[in-house]
Chains A and B, each alone.
Chain A
Amino acid sequence: MLENYNGKEIIQVESLTYVYAAGTPLAAAALRDVSLSVKKGEFLVLAGPTGSGKSTLAQHFNGLLLPTAGIVRVAGRDTRVKNFRRRLWQLVGLAFQYPEQQLFAETVFDDVAFGPRNLRLAAEEVEKRAAAALEIVGLDPREAKERSPFALSQGQRRRAALAGILAVDPAVLVLDEPAAGLDPRGRRRLLGVFKDLQQRRGKTIVLITHDMDNAASLADRIVVLKEGRIFREGTPREVFGDPGPLLEIGLRLPVPAEILRRLGIEGVALTLPEAEERINEAAAGMRKRRPNFI
């Protein structure tokens, strides 16, 4: 059934409002009249300052939170429909910040197999899925059967926790700052895994991040939230091509784009090679006028 959604909207959010502690004196609107959609196979980045509603919005995608007003549809079905819940959890896998804090089983393998076992799959299929998920995140399935998750390094624990989500084989992965606290190489590798899942396996990825360099290099589309509303939306080139509003709300440009902006070179660079090329072009322009220039 999901094939029908290829390139189409697998998540539709219409006029979503969400109020925490509704009906109490502490009621606070976290999302106000948000409408957006996520296409199947797309890599979407959700950005915005702390408290802008990113995580609240993401938790609506798998029904963990239900709208106070408005509708969220996944694969065409309203997330409020009770008998859709079980299917919804398989469709949309959600990784919170620091997911390794939720590891609990005796071995890494058992932890990863927990999801597929819960789906009451045959033992063989559980085994296959857990092993495949571990391989995707770069952990050895055989070793995983002998090791406690608590004997792993933080980076490995993070991968193990994410493998647990992948093992359920969701069509959509919602990831809340999955690389926070990892070292530079760990960050790069892990984010590469997600890009790969999108490009090679057609997964839909929703990534919440503060890191605009990652957003620039990974996203097909960026949605920026501010105070519970959609503030900006577009391709990385569109969003970073209009830096004023982003800087105003405390976000930053990716380093390559920021360098061009400060140098007064027109256009947007999303990667370092691109920035290098643009700077070299600017110099080539100078050489025409001043042959002695570098």
Chain B
Amino acid sequence: MPGFISPQNRPLRGSAVDDYYIGIDNLKYVYNRGEPGEKAALDGISARVDRGEFIAVVGANGSGKSTLARHLNALLLPVAGCVMVNGLDTRRPENLPAIRREVAMIFQNPDNQIVAATVEEDVAFGPENLGLPPELIARRVDAALKAAGLEQLRTVPPHFLSGGQKQRLAIACALAMQPGCLVCDEPTAMLDPAGREEILNTLLRLNRSEKVTLILITQFMEEAALARKVWVLDKGRLVFLGAPAELFARPELLTACGLELPAPAELARRLRAAGWPLSLEILTLDDLVAQLRRILGQNPFLNQNMI
């Protein structure tokens, strides 16, 4: 469905790929290659990531999201095509240490990512392995704990942390390696609502104030609504890349890919159909409430204290 990709996001070709921060060119990947269970997982993906961007990657189960994510720091290597990170080809073994320092991964289950007895030791583990001098390690740990909002918990054993705090610890551990890019593979799937908000706020702040490039793989369309750009995968193909508002203006595309509008955008669509003058830019609950308040502003039947 190449028609879904808007002109400014047209796939790149040829040598342009190594000019980008992360360039993906005609990437193909096949699980169990040459065996009976052979299965194409990525089928010719081309895209680019600029420094400081926030991209959400969505798609049904089995669409290739996690497979794509694992290519970005060379946990998987292309069967065909290539992935370039900061000008480094992931297929060259000598590039791996630099690529993995540049692009850090955060996974679903925070319990699988914890190694040490206290929060600060856990965060220090990575920099220690780099063989950095102790003062530098201490500085990096302080900065990472601060960025993840864990300064108060530095001496606590990780198993006493809540789900959201554990996931923030995983983020702090990644930050201590000073990556330019965080790839988060459904980091909120196992968290309660408060934990989810904690993680999203942390990630948003890192992207906005620390300029960390953020690639968020998610099943929650309301999380995708927060991104600057969304990539939609369907059966291993990239079928849409563009702004969330562009995507949510095409419910038929979402449906075709097994996705749905986030609830606030769906309610906005219904109200629009009923004649409400709501803009197409409504993505989040905050957007919808703000526009409705403006319209309903002087309604004497509303409880003004609440508005």
Contact = CB atoms under 8 A, between A and B. Distances in A.
B259 A294 contact: no
A181 B192 CA distance: 13
Contact of B193 (A183, A212, A261, A286): A212
Given A251-B193, A282-B301, A283-B295, 17 more contacts: A153-B62, A154-B61, A183-B219, A184-B260, A185-B60, A185-B259, A186-B258, A188-B260, A213-B263, A259-B264, A261-B306, A262-B293, A263-B296, A264-B302, A264-B306, A276-B267, A290-B298
Interface in A254-294: 255-256, 258-259, 261-266, 272-273, 275-276, 279-280, 282-283, 285-286, 289-290, 294
A286 B297 CA distance: 10
B48 to A, nearest CB: 25
B25 interface: no
A183 B285 CA distance: 21
A232 interface: no
Contact of B260 (A185, A263, A286): A185
A158 B292 CA distance: 40
A263 B162 contact: no
B62 A154 contact: yes
Interface of B: 37, 59-63, 108, 162-164, 186, 189-195, 219, 221, 258-260, 263-264, 266-267, 270-271, 274-277, 285, 288-289, 292-293, 295-296, 298-307
A286 B298 CA distance: 8
A153 B59 CA distance: 13
A51 interface: yes
A276 B299 contact: no
A276 B271 contact: yes
Contact of A50 (B163, B259, B260, B288): B163
A155 interface: yes
Interface in A131-188: 151, 153-155, 180-188
B62 A264 contact: no
Counting chain A CB atoms within 10 Å of each CB, the highest count among B59, B193, B264, B307 belongs to: B193
Contacts of B194: 49, 250-251
A155 B304 CA distance: 46
Contact of A272 (B270, B277, B289): B270
Contacts of A285: 299-301
Contacts of A258: 285
Given A51-B162, A272-B266, A294-B276, A183 B61 contact: yes
Nearest to A262: B289
Contacts, number: 133
A279 B276 CA distance: 10
A227 B8 CA distance: 52
A280 B274 contact: yes
Given A50-B191, A263-B292, A276-B271, A256 B263 contact: yes
Contacts of B295: 283, 294
A210 B193 contact: yes
A252 interface: yes
A183 B264 contact: no
B169 to A, nearest CB: 14
B178 to A, nearest CB: 30
| 9 nearest CB pairs, A to B | A264-B306, A250-B194, A255-B263, A153-B62, A285-B301, A184-B260, A264-B303, A183-B60, A155-B61
B277 A294 contact: yes
A264 B307 contact: yes
Contacts of B195: 50, 250
A279 B302 contact: no
A210 B266 CA distance: 21
Interface in A37-83: 49-51
Contacts of A186: 60-61, 258
Contacts of B275: 294
Nearest to A290: B298
B170 to A, nearest CB: 15
Contacts of A212: 193
Contacts of B270: 272-273, 276
A230 to B, nearest CB: 17
Contacts of A265: 302-303
Contacts of B63: 183
A256 B271 CA distance: 13
B267 A255 contact: yes
A255 B285 contact: yes
B263 A210 contact: no
Counting chain A CB atoms within 10 Å of each CB, the highest count among B186, B264, B305 belongs to: B264
B2 to A, nearest CB: 23
A266 B289 CA distance: 15
Given A151-B37, A185-B259, A259 B302 contact: no
A255 B62 CA distance: 28
11 contacts: A51-B162, A153-B62, A182-B61, A184-B221, A251-B194, A259-B289, A263-B293, A272-B263, A282-B301, A285-B299, A286-B298
B259 A184 contact: yes
A91 to B, nearest CB: 29
Given A151-B37, A282-B296, A183 B162 contact: no
A182 B275 CA distance: 34
